[in-house]
DNA sequence: ATTCAATATTCCGAATACTGAATGTAGTAT
DNA sequence: ATACTACATTCAGTATTCGGAATATTGAAT
């Protein structure tokens, strides 16, 4: 009875996805890698809270972190969630650019592709 | 800001899916409509517990019930979950047929297509 | 009307998750 | 060394969920 294991694993994945803020983070990251402060600015949530949710996503293997100087950039690591997001949230359009964001990507002071950014 | 609503709704759906027994029920139903006692037999869980989970699935609009004499048959109503199940659980193979099941479908005493069974 | 079988609902203690506040860590600059 | 910035972790109170037990409802048969 190994299918039980499959149910448990899929349930664990769904549990991680069953959270509006975490979904929004994934939605942000499918537009490109972003640092914590940018995610915080886009969502309007405090940094500590975002860090918490990122930890959960990281533990589930959905995202990975890599440090770039002072900032930590996150990227999607599980390509299987992309079709799910597309089906329910639509195609990813352009990147968000909040007013008050001071991250290197938003201010244009990025020191060339952070941690081998995809595409 | 209507995307927040989309995140909330998708999160609500994922929350319903984030449960091994409920996933197994959906996995059973994608092989065809089944009555509660059959689901109970396949999963090995008590009837009351299955009814509980079915209520949650029903409230989420994922399944619908229809009575056929003494039995109540359940069917999938949201076709959007099928690709998700296929991606993570594989193609649905043949129907389960537990030894101790006394449901009309298993004993072959079904009075012609219950509630307009699909296919 | 009574009984039975199939299913549905309610209740409750235990476990788990959520979320804000406070604090800790790591890298950079002076 | 100190200060600062960006991020991570821990803690605690609250809310929610889990899963079993008991009970209710519904339809069929006698």
CA distance linking residue B66 with residue A17, whole number of Å: 31
- What's the CA A76/C1' D10 distance, rounded, in angstroms? 26
CA distance B76 to B83: 13
pLDDT confidence band for A115 (50 / 70 / 90): low
> Could you tell me if B92 lies within 8 Å of chain A, comparing CB atoms?
no
Just give the CATH number of A3-107.
1.10.10.10
Alpha helices by DSSP H, chain B: 3-17, 20-29, 36-43, 47-59, 81-89, 104-107
Q: Is B44 on the interface with A (CB under 8 A)?
A: no
Higher pLDDT, A114 or A5: A5
Per-residue model confidence (pLDDT) at position B106 = 87
Whole-number distance in Å between A13 CA and D16 C1': 19
* Whole-number percent of chain A with pLDDT over 90: 53
- Please, which positions of strand D sit below 7 A from a protein CB? 5-10, 17-23, 27-28
Interface check B59 vs A, CB under 8 A: no
- Ranges of each domain in chain A: 3-107
- The dihedral through the CA atoms of B95, B100, B103, B105 has a sign that is positive
Interface contact flag, B3 A89, Cβ < 8 Å: yes
What local confidence, expressed as pLDDT, does residue B118 receive? 42
Confidence of residue A119 (pLDDT cuts 50, 70, 90): very low
């Amino acid at each position: 009875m190994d299918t039980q294991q499959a149910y448990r694993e899929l349930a664990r994945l769904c549990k991680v996805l069953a959270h509006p803020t975490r979904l929004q983070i994934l939605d942000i990251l499918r537009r490109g890698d972003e640092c914590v402060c940018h995610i915080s600015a886009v969502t309007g949530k405090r940094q500590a809270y975002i860090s918490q949710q990122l930890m959960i996503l990281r533990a589930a293997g959905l995202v990975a972190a890599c440090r770039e100087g002072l900032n930590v950039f996150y990227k999607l690591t599980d390509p299987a969630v992309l079709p799910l997001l597309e089906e329910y949230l639509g195609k990813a359009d352009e990147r968000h650019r909040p007013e008050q964001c001071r991250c290197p990507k938003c201010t244009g002071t990025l020191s060339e592709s952070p941690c081998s950014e995809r595409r």
